[in-house]
């Protein structure tokens, strides 16, 4: 049997925690106040997906490596599924209106549609809609 996990916690360093909370709130995400203080917040994506936004100094306590400058290099792209093409456009539109920047041109493969943006710290986010049944399940 392979590795089984039922939740994912993505940890991202941020320069200004309150600015990041304001940015992601404008997109429509909520935050778990039980795991929020001056150093970090827990952004709720779904019942099983969370993003821990950690002030860079606090993030640094979890690693001996340098923190990548997300405005000039990329270590990860956070990709989230959407329920429709319209939802992809809506979420990315809210991100851009909240101060994010477009990352790439929209991609349309007919059965799959995606758009991406960079958050205030330069982290890459991608929203993807894929038609049901377009990919066989393993």
CA distance 3 to 62: 23
- What local confidence, expressed as pLDDT, does residue 134 receive? 67
- What local confidence, expressed as pLDDT, does residue 3 receive? 81
Q: Which residues of the chain have pLDDT under 70?
A: 1, 134-138
The domains located in the chain, with CATH, are: 8-130 (3.10.180.10)
Q: What is the pTM of this model?
A: 0.88
Distance, C-alpha 100 to centroid of its chain: 12
Helices in the chain by DSSP H: which ranges? Answer: 17-27, 56-59, 85-97
Distance, C-alpha 121 to centroid of its chain: 11
């Amino acid at each position: 049997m392979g590795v089984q996990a039922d939740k994912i916690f993505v940890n991202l360093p941020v320069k200004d925690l309150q600015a990041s909370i304001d940015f992601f709130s404008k997109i429509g995400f909520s935050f778990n106040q039980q795991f929020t203080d001056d150093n970090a917040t827990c952004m709720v994506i779904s019942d099983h997906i969370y993003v821990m936004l950690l002030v860079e100094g606090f993030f640094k306590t979890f690693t001996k490596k340098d923190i990548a400058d997300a405005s000039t290099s990329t270590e990860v792209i956070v990709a989230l599924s959407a329920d429709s093409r319209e939802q992809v456009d809506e979420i990315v539109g809210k991100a851009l209106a909240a101060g994010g920047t477009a990352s790439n041109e929209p991609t349309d493969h007919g059965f799959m549609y995606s758009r991406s943006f960079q958050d205030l710290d330069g982290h890459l986010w991608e929203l993807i809609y894929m038609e049901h049944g377009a990919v066989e399940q393993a």
